[in-house]
A and B are shown apart, each in its own frame.
Chain A
Amino acid sequence: DAKTTQPTSMDCAEGRAANLPCNHSTISGNEYVYWYRQIHSQGPQYIIHGLKNNETNEMASLIITEDRKSSTLILPHATLRDTAVYYCIVRVMDSSYKLIFGSGTRLLVRP
């Protein structure tokens, strides 16, 4: 699976949009981009995933560049409860199904 690069930490103000970047310049054509987050001392929570097109759900939006070498997770109106470590993972949809976590971005939402 392709490697991802994320900023170590970021912060944003409560109520504002949080834009979390991820670089995956070696991504292959059959690899998906997944985002999970982990709130302190809990298991990771699925946020969103995509292949080529931008995706949106009730939690977030995923913007993938046309060349697929980078993506941005957008939390439109961050709340204090969004403070967590956010993991960007690229993964082939093969029979292994496993997820390999990188170091992630620690997002702090300020009051």
Chain B
Amino acid sequence: GAVVSQHPSWVICKSGTSVKIECRSLDFQATTMFWYRQFPKQSLMLMATSNEGSKATYEQGVEKDKFLINHASLTLSTLTVTSAHPEDSSFYICSARDSGTGGEKLFFGSGTQLSVL
């Protein structure tokens, strides 16, 4: 199956700093990627839809100025958590739609565990 690479796997940062998470589709082109967050023992919550070459679409309640999304190429989307605070500590997961096969399946990265001190 298609591979989505997410980096870093985990990151620890100080409160007030910004953290960038990368999501790459390795063997397919992805015009659309999605960003989720997951708190311990909870389900995945969709944060935003990232569209190549255009602005991201954020779900209700997600601060677009805090969670900056850039999708500059067909294989890369980035999520930047700006001015991170301890409550932003979470597991962040990206997924990508394989444009070439009609997008019936979404493929997920392995996730990034963010800890804000």
Residues of A within 8 A of B (CB): 36, 38, 41-46, 49, 87, 93, 96-104
Contacts and interface: CB of A to CB of B under 8 A. Distances in A.
B93 interface: yes
B44 interface: yes
**Most central of B1, B103, B106 by chain A CB within 10 Å:** B106
A42 B34 contact: no
A44 B32 CA distance: 17
Interface in B63-117: 91, 93-95, 97, 103-111, 113
A84 to B, nearest CB: 13
Contacts of B104: 49, 93
Given A43-B6, A46-B1, A46-B105, A99 B43 contact: no
Contacts of B106: 46, 97, 99
Given A46-B107, A96-B49, 14 more contacts: A42-B110, A43-B93, A43-B95, A43-B108, A44-B44, A44-B108, A46-B105, A98-B34, A99-B34, A99-B95, A99-B106, A101-B36, A101-B44, A103-B43
A97 B107 CA distance: 12
A104 to B, nearest CB: 6
Interface residues on B, range: 20 to 34
Interface string B31-46: 0101010000001111
A41 B90 CA distance: 11
B5 to A, nearest CB: 11
5 contacts: A41-B91, A43-B95, A43-B108, A43-B110, A46-B1
B105 A100 contact: no
Contact of B43 (A46, A49, A93, A102): A102
Contact of A100 (B46, B95, B111): B46
